Structure 1
Amino acid sequence: MRLLAIGDNFIGKEVMEEGLKELKGYGIEITVREWEHKNLEMLQKDNLLIEQNGPEAVELSEELIWDIEDYDILIVQFTPVSKKLIEKAKNLKLIGVLRGGAENIDCEYAAAKEISVMNTPGRNARAVAEFTIGMILSEIRNIARSHAALKNGEWRKKFPNSGFVPELNGKIVGLVGFGSVGKLVASYLNAFGCKILVYDPFFKGNIDYIEIVDLEYLLKNSDIISIHARLTDDTYHMIGKKEISLMKSTSVIVNTARSGLVDEKSIVEALDEGKISGAAIDVFDVEPIVKNDKILQLDNITITPHMAGSTRDAFINSPKFMRDILARALDKNENLPIVNGINPEF
């Protein structure tokens, strides 16, 4: 059995090889290549194109996939796996993607070809969750704004929320989406003494320190709203103008998930008009942000360049997580993160 793993600027060849090497014990021959970009910015630009337009949006070089028909397993992180590539991969049985989202895989066509697609749920959940807490604190306590002011020689003490700077203890925080990231964020917020509301139609379980509510109730009652849903056709712009109008004038919205979950223009408008207190955003409709974007002129927002999940630990551990998933698949374990409904057949 042969496996082709395609790394990138975040997960290089050596990290990929080290993470997957134990699969050789299953008789798997491993080949590792890299989807090369001049820098991380160029990779992120391609990744955004793929997320917004699908895996056909970026063409791979022939050098990268020239013998794809010889492989049974394909492992990628950001590399697009299009219908064209799948059609060429005559012997492919499984596609593994080293992240939670599978936007870069044509999952529907893979299913039509009886190819299983599996993701790596939670691989950077801790990185995003920790970053989310940092974004919340930075926005409500004006950490980034005061830092920027001091760097410019200003001893700034007045901010848009100066009349109601809060502490987290006792505040109501609404989490939209309660997967791997949402659960970690909730556990951290519980330690701060927050009351936690959760909206997630797919969550089945019972955690004593959260309250499951509908989206309208969450929006109306939360002091802080943090987005952790998966981006699908159904969740696109799930937070739009109507939803923002339900929020308190003193509330803050945080998005470290996907830009498409929130109507960016409506958020900017609400912040500009003072309809909500603030926002903390790590993901944007256009990346990098253009210099004349109105979002850069707002004083009641904390912005970062799509970096929530980018920790060394998250990238290094991803191939190891996939190694363990593949081992379970080869051992015929039923507990597999299959995203397209097709069980792998080896």
Structure 2
Amino acid sequence: MSTTATKPVLLVTAADLAPQALDMLGDFEVVFAGKQPTEDDIVALCARYKPVAIIVRYGKVNARIMDAAGNLQVISKHGSGIDVIDQDAAAARGIAVRAAAGANAAAVAEHAWALILACAKSVPQLDARMRAGHWDKATHKSIELDGRTLGLVGLGAIGRRAATIGLAFGMNVLAFDPYAKEAPAGVKLTSLGELYVQSDVVSLHCPLTPENRKMLNRDAFDCFKPGAILVNTARGGLIDEPALVEALASGRLRAAGLDSFDVEPMTTPHPFQGVANIILSPHIGGVSDAAYVNMGKGAAANVLAVIEERSRTAA
């Protein structure tokens, strides 16, 4: 692609974007960074193309990347988690940061429930036992969720969908969210400590902030109901990973279902790989056929809105 293109450049930190999103971006020269771009890859592309916008699918965007892209006006997340963008650095440079809020809510809530059910019913473990020639009908007992308590940490678009599913399963639903002024019918707002004590299943649906990093630590796990299940489809940094391994080994937790990790991709070897009662997936909760389109369109719409607003202001 020539650097003399007359269209402004938009950089995507991935190898692809939904066709529906690309259709919205016809006024831009779209440059793709590849499947797993490194920071150096993105810096080099920013230095070469000077994009006015970045759509972030994979990796992080820090001050070094922003400084390499001298014309940058907006960084748009392909999803809802903007913790991968240095927001202070962006603000200092006058760069707008936007998220495609709610675009993957259905996908993530469904995946959270896939992990909850897999933990409660031991689906992967029973499958492995069957394949090894065992028939555990006489010895296995699963956890029945009807009448149990679901605790949701975060009550945004994803948390609310997870709550609706929990109510449909006949569960009592508690939620902690310091920003929620009200809860859906059937959901009780409570303190975080009370949620830990009361819940049979705790599911994380909150953003990662400096204040809540490693909030699930040894002290928190000591408050959990013995035999509880923990599911995280939010951000891995919310959990102190060595403390989780200890809680699972001691029996304080029955099982955990994890779709996000403190370091991604998850390092290998990793202690989680040797823990039988952890179910792992590679941060794909928000990656569904519909969410791919919705997140792409949402990210594109946010770019267009910022560019249009700034064009009007400059006129």
Same fold (TM over 0.5): yes
> Which residue in 1 is equivalent to 2:182?
205
> How far 1:76 sits from its partner (Å)?
2.9
Identity of counterpart residues, as a percentage?
A: 28
Query: Could you say if the C-alpha distance between residues 327 and 248 of structure 1 is closer, same or farther in structure 2, counting changes exceeding 3 Å?
Result: same
Aligned partner (choices 256, 261, 270) of residue 284 of structure 1? 261
Query: Aligned pair 1:214/2:191, yes or no?
Result: yes
Give ranges in structure 2 of 5+ residues lacking alignment.
Answer: 1-6
Q: Partners in 1 of 2:136 and 2:267 — Cα distance? A: 26
Residue identity opposite 2:129 in structure 1: A
Aligned residues: 306
Q: What is the 5 A alignment of 1:189-268?
A: 189-268=166-245
Query: Aligned pair 1:146/2:126, yes or no?
Result: yes
> Which residue in 1 is equivalent to 2:29?
31
Q: Partners in 1 of 2:261 and 2:13 — Cα distance? A: 25
Query: Aligned pair 1:2/2:5, yes or no?
Result: no
Query: Aligned pair 1:65/2:42, yes or no?
Result: no
> Which residue in 1 is equivalent to 2:4?
none
Give ranges in structure 1 of 5+ residues lacking alignment.
Answer: 47-57, 333-341
> Which residue in 2 is equivalent to 1:336?
none
Query: Aligned pair 1:83/2:63, yes or no?
Result: yes
Aligned partner (choices 150, 166, 171) of residue 143 of structure 2? 166
Q: Partners in 2 of 1:106 and 1:294 — Cα distance? A: 29
Asked whether the 8 Å contact 2:206–2:234 carries over to 1, the reply is yes
Deviation track 1:18-46 (CA, whole Å, cap 9, x = no partner) reads 4143355xxxx311111124xxxx56xx5
Q: What is the 5 A alignment of 1:99-110?
A: 99-110=79-90
1:178 is paired with a residue of what secondary structure? coil
> How far 1:329 sits from its partner (Å)?
4.5
> Which residue in 2 is equivalent to 1:339?
none
1:131 is paired with a residue of what secondary structure? helix
Asked whether the 8 Å contact 1:34–1:64 carries over to 2, the reply is no
Farther off after superposition, 117-126 or 318-327 = 318-327
Query: Could you say if the C-alpha distance between residues 235 and 145 of structure 1 is closer, same or farther in structure 2, counting changes exceeding 3 Å?
Result: same
1:59 is paired with a residue of what secondary structure? helix
Q: Partners in 1 of 2:255 and 2:97 — Cα distance? A: 39
Asked whether the 8 Å contact 2:197–2:224 carries over to 1, the reply is yes
> How far 1:75 sits from its partner (Å)?
2.7
Residue identity opposite 1:234 in structure 2: E
> How far 1:215 sits from its partner (Å)?
0.7
1:134 is paired with a residue of what secondary structure? helix
Residue identity opposite 1:5 in structure 2: L
Give the TM-score of the pair, scaled to structure 1: 0.79
Q: Partners in 2 of 1:318 and 1:110 — Cα distance? A: 21
Asked whether the 8 Å contact 1:6–1:79 carries over to 2, the reply is no
Q: Give RMSD over aligned pairs.
A: 2.6
> How far 1:129 sits from its partner (Å)?
0.7
Deviation track 1:213-272 (CA, whole Å, cap 9, x = no partner) reads 001100101111111111111111111111111111121111121111011111111111
Deviation track 1:134-187 (CA, whole Å, cap 9, x = no partner) reads 11111111111101111222223477xx56x33222111000111221111111
Query: Could you say if the C-alpha distance between residues 77 and 305 of structure 1 is closer, same or farther in structure 2, counting changes exceeding 3 Å?
Result: closer
